[in-house]
Structure 1
Amino acid sequence: MSSRETRPSHRVGLNVRTALVAGVMVCALIVILALPRAGEWSASPAPVAAGWQALAPLFSGRINVLVVTQRSRGRTIYAGVDGGVYKSTDGGETWIPCLEGLSNRMVRALALDPDRPDILYAGTRGGRVYKSEDGGVHWRDISQGLGAEDIVSLLVDPENPDIIHVATPQHLYTTRNGGGAWELAPFVRGEEITQAILDPANPALLYVATRQGKLYYSTDRGAHWAAPSTVAAGLSWVSTSPVQGGTLYAIADGHVWKGEDLGRAWAYNDNYLDKALAQCLAIHPRDASHVLVGTTMGLYRSTDARRTWTPSNQGLDAAHLGINALAYDSIDAETVYLGSGNVVYRSADGGATWKRIGQIADRLGGNVLALVPHPQDAQRMYASAGGGGLFQTVDGGKSWTLLEGLPSAWVTAVGLSPQEPALLYAGTLQGVPYRSQDGGVTWEPNTTRLSGVAITALVVDPELPSDVYLGTWGGGAYISQNWTRGWSRVGSGASYVRGLVLDTRAWRRNLYVLAEDGVYRGEYDSPNQLELTWYLGTVTTLVQSAGSEMKLLAAGDRGADLVEGAAERPEVILVQQGGKPEAPPIHLLAQSPAAPDTLYAAVEGQGVLRSQDLGATWAPVGGGLADRRVTALSIHPASQALYAGTDQGLYQLRGE
């Protein structure tokens, strides 16, 4: 059979649960549309048999907000964390993940319906708002009409719970039908909103704090706004007393202020400790003079309206003196809950002493979508988790840091250049590519001439870092040679792209596009001359062989002899599990640069297998991953360590 200009007539459907992209040269391994259904969120990496070591979970479980509600069966505590929503019905001792339908798991705000305790709302990083009507068991997205800014506050009107206010750094939104439709509130522009609150005694009274130090208020639920008062620059927190109307406490630049008369008059005194910066604050529900402030160096308590402060750290571990969240109990006003990191403490005496009672730890590993090692630093890697965004480790996976500047919670492809490691590219499920020129601190999008469908593959030319290739699901492949000028479509075929391989070893570059209906190749001197022609039948994965000789490793899903065109491609090495057509197909491949005959393969239901004879025979390696869906395989070029991303977190192969 000769090479053809048109693709074959047969089409083999993509297994959208397991399909994966191999972007060689940058090891961009991505699950293509293998997005978990609601309720299939991942657990923290569980211990596995000798060989595979669980790395730290991508989601930290950091508690950002705590809310307590009274129910007929007692109290329920909800925690919004970096990793989702969790609830406890036993006073905080055990925590149940509430993740079904919560497609963005970076929860920054929670709000309860005061009349219907099973109804609650969650606001996330990236501008998503979710509603649950069954106590967090199921969630649905009610964000249509909102922007993509982080949610900083969620407020439910206690007199009319269908009225909900949402604050983002630049906007204030209101819905009057429980999230069915949102309208932009007539609020001041040009200032950064840091928090919004309702007066619990008068819910028509709405306060908005800004980073510039201004406090605005409205007495008609946001329809009109009074002239603001000035607190201090860096205003980040404001709370109002539920029993003493007009009494406010605020945090500005890490210090505590007290306001009277709707915030028209402010006084400052936080002599608790000059070096401790306040992060959160809670007012006693029955006594406005009792205040708790959580700082970077512990908890402080005032019983005289913040004139004097007393350290209240008895019972807190030294590792948990950074306080993220505080909440008074809805039944017993002397019971207080505290969040530090992912650990929960409880006080039964108004905050004087504390007892550690629980920890957010379950299902934090993350469903890994992409895993990319740094080309030079053996301790640095990038990994993305469904619903979380893009994370970075600088200690070999002992800890992970979210790259906050990238707004998408679904990063499906990542690429970087060996020549310029600080230059990063990311593709998202929303079809938006991003570029960072400072190692992931800041990001800029560019969608010029893109189709707006999910990005499934991303490859950076290792010799020309400005040349970037994208594969999309339904829109074909694209190239950008100049970020500011946008993207150009590559060829006209191969619409549903599962992977990209760029070979730069020949004097001409060869781009291989792994599509739903086969492999296409473009050979060119210049990307502007690139056209795609059909090259090979349907395979499940395609990678570039190590070494100087131009070889491709391909795994067929129906046996090597059934891959159309394979006999005419001597440069293609077809591998299968044991060479048996009836064996489960390989959906991921990785080759050892140090030992080119050694291959690693991910096989559904069998974990990771290893071949030391270029695919002739296979054996399980490490053991323990058979019950996990392996979504990424990568050999770190600087350390030669093998890493596996799964639907339950990240693992490293040890001692093999």
Structure 2
Amino acid sequence: MPGPSYLTLTRRRFLFSSGAAAGVFALPKVLLGAEPANSAVVALAFAGDALLAARSDLIRSDDGGSSWTALPVPAAVLALATHPERPGRIIAGLASGGVALSEDGGRTWEGLSRGLAEGEVDAVAIAAGQPDMIYATVRGDGLWKSEDAGQSWSLAMDRPWLKDAERELLALASVDLLTGMGGIWIYAGTEKGLTRVPDCLCRWQDVQPGNAMDALVSGDAPSSVAPLPTGEPVHALVSAPSAPETLYAALPSGIWTSSDAGATWSHAADGFVTAVAVHPADPDHIVASLDGGLMQSRDGGINWSALAAI
């Protein structure tokens, strides 16, 4: 279904001026001390065993959250992505300036916005099995992709049409499933729930059980058994790299988990959640920003403990 008429005015704002060319930023590490403890965490990610947390800045812990180091970036960070096959690589979605890339764990950064639409980058993801394929969502625009680690960008998909309107893409996850066209799906959290598209980038669709490519062709309705709640924004969404069918989602109603690639969901924790991350080697090790604090679970969300305040 076509989007509203203003879409042609917003989607094509993608050519930056010459001042938006890629740049390199050398960023010294600063010990965290004076930042307020109640700064909202908007994104979390594991970089190996290290934990990254984005507020208005980016901070890193190498000791399980006991202490933190600040890693300033060119602009406020809205989203983070890492990849187990590229140690040290961090992708940051920025409130201004598009996307930034670090190849050294956040010590230095390169701005990668040439050809990307202008606007806040609310979500980023690195394709499972293809660490140079990067996806980014631009607020008011749609899904963009880069096949060369951010050196160039192209529009991949418009925003999905859900609940009688075109919806913002708030979260992204690349999910390695045999039912994808080549084994990869792009899952997206929106203002109204969950959607996904195979890596053919042909059509947004509901998450369904069974052979999802058959469902894409047939147009079957999704299962009504224990779906992720609709009508709530999905603030964050992650797939466990070591167990791709294990997903975690952050909603205002709490943390939700799925063990069947998003066909059915269970409630793992109550509270207002803004971010969630899963360890690359342990699908049961998750960290979430829950009711303003950082919480950790080692058993897939059954039991939780608080991490040190940041």
| Cα distance, 1:302 vs structure 2 | 6.9
Query: Corresponding residue for 1:76?
Result: 50
**1-side partners of 2:229 and 2:199: how far apart?**
36
Instruction: Please give the alpha-carbon distance, in whole angstroms, between the structure 1 residues aligned to 2:156 and 2:228.
Output: 38
Q: CA deviation digits over 1:277-310, x for unaligned, max 9?
A: 865455665484x665544354456779886846
Match of 1:131 in 2: 101
Query: Is residue 2:197 matched to residue 1:217?
Result: yes
Identity of aligned residues (%): 21
Q: Distance in 1 between matches of 2:54 and 2:304?
A: 21
* Residue in structure 1 matched with residue 149 of structure 2 by the alignment: 178
Out of 279, 296, 314, the residue aligned to residue 252 of structure 2 is 296
TM-score, normalised to structure 1, is 0.35
Aligned mates of 1:121, 1:140 — CA distance in 2: 10
Residues of 1 paired with 2:295 and 2:90: CA distance? 23
| In 1: Cα distance, 2:31 partner to 2:69 partner | 13
Going from structure 1 to structure 2, the CA distance change for 1:245 and 1:89 (only over 3 Å counts) comes to: farther
The alignment status of 1:198 with 2:169, answered yes or no, reads no
For residues 492-503 of structure 1, the aligned pairs below 5 Å read none
Q: What's 2:61 paired with? A: 88
Per the alignment, residue 63 of structure 1 pairs with: 41
> Compared with structure 1, are the counterparts of its residues 268 and 114 closer, same or farther at alpha carbon in structure 2 (3 Å cutoff)?
same
Shift of 1:123: 0.3
Query: Is it true that 1:112 corresponds to 2:82 in the alignment?
Result: yes
- Residue by residue over 1:370-409, the C-alpha shift from the partner in whole angstroms, topping out at 9 and shown as x without a partner, is xxxxxxxxxxxxxxxxxxxxxxxxxxxxxxxxxxxxxxxx
Question: Per-residue deviation at 1:159?
Answer: 3.7
Alignment of 1:66-465 (within 5 A): 66-70=44-48, 75-81=49-55, 83-99=56-72, 102-105=73-76, 107-169=77-139, 170-185=141-156, 187=158, 191-194=166-169, 195-201=171-177, 202=182, 205-207=185-187, 215=195, 217-220=197-200, 222=201, 225-226=202-203, 228-229=204-205, 231=206, 246=212, 261=215, 265-268=221-224, 279-280=235-236, 286=243, 288=245, 293-299=249-255, 309=266, 312=269, 321-340=271-290, 343-360=293-310
Paired residues of 1:291 and 1:306 also in contact (CA < 8 A): no
- For residues 60 and 281 of structure 2, the distance between their equivalents in structure 1, rounded to whole angstroms, comes to 17
Work out the CA distance in 1 between the residues paired with 2:190 and 2:267: 29
Secondary structure at the aligned position of 2:74 is classed as coil
Aligned amino acid, residue 97 of structure 1: A
Within 5 A, what are the aligned runs for 1:553-592? Answer: none
Contact in 2 for aligned 1:272/1:310 (Cα 8 Å) = no
| Cα gap change, 1:330 to 1:161, in 2 (>3 Å) | closer
Task: Report the secondary structure of 1:346's partner residue.
Answer: strand
Instruction: Give the counterpart letter for 1:267 in structure 2.
Output: S
C-alpha change, 1:61 and 1:148, in structure 2 (3 Å) is: farther
Deviations 1:225-269 (A, max 9, x none): 24x43x5xxxxxx8x99xx9749xxxxxxxxxxxx9469542345
Which secondary structure does the structure 1 equivalent of 2:87 belong to? coil
Q: TM-score, normalised by structure 2?
A: 0.68
> Given the superposition, is the C-alpha separation of residues 103 and 162 from structure 1 closer, same or farther in structure 2, using an over 3 Å criterion?
same
SS in 2 for 1:136: coil
**Deviation (angstroms), 1:354:** 0.8
Compute the displacement of 1:213 (Å): 7.4
Which amino acid is the alignment partner of residue 93 of structure 1? S
> How far apart are the structure 2 equivalents of 1:115 and 1:42?
28
The correspondence of residues 590-629 of structure 1 with structure 2, limited to 5 A, is none
- 1:357 positional shift: 1.6
Residue pair 1:64, 1:108 contacting (<8 A) in 2 also = yes
1:430-579 paired onto structure 2 within 5 Å: none
Which has the larger Rg?
1
8 A Cα contact 1:88 1:94, kept in partner: yes
Task: Describe the superposition over 1:413-463 as per-residue Cα deviations: whole angstroms up to 9, x where unpaired.
Answer: xxxxxxxxxxxxxxxxxxxxxxxxxxxxxxxxxxxxxxxxxxxxxxxxxxx
Quickly say closer, same or farther: Cα 1:136–1:310, change in 2 above 3 A.
closer
8 Å contact 1:296–1:323 — kept in the other structure?
yes
Residue 23 of structure 1: aligned partner: none
Give the conservation status (yes or no) of the 8 Å contact 2:285–2:298: yes
CA RMSD of aligned residues (A): 4.4
Gaps of at least 5 residues in structure 2 are 1-25
Distance 1:203 1:64, change over 3 A: farther
- Provide the rounded CA distance (Å) in 1 between the counterparts of 2:278 and 2:109: 25
Instruction: Call closer, same or farther: CA 1:347–1:215 in 2, change over 3 Å.
Output: closer
Query: What is the rounded CA distance, in whole Å, between the counterparts of 1:272 and 1:212 in structure 2?
Result: 10
**Using the alignment, how far apart are the partners of 1:189 and 1:86 within structure 2?**
32
Gaps of 5+ in 1: 1-36, 47-56, 232-237, 248-259, 314-320, 361-656
Write the letter of the residue equivalent to 1:120.
I
User: How many matched pairs?
Assistant: 272
Once the two structures are superposed, what CA deviation does each residue of 1:303-352 show, in whole Å capped at 9, x if it has no partner? 79886846646xxxxxxx32222222222232221112553211122211
- In 2, Cα distance between equivalents of 1:186 and 1:92: 37
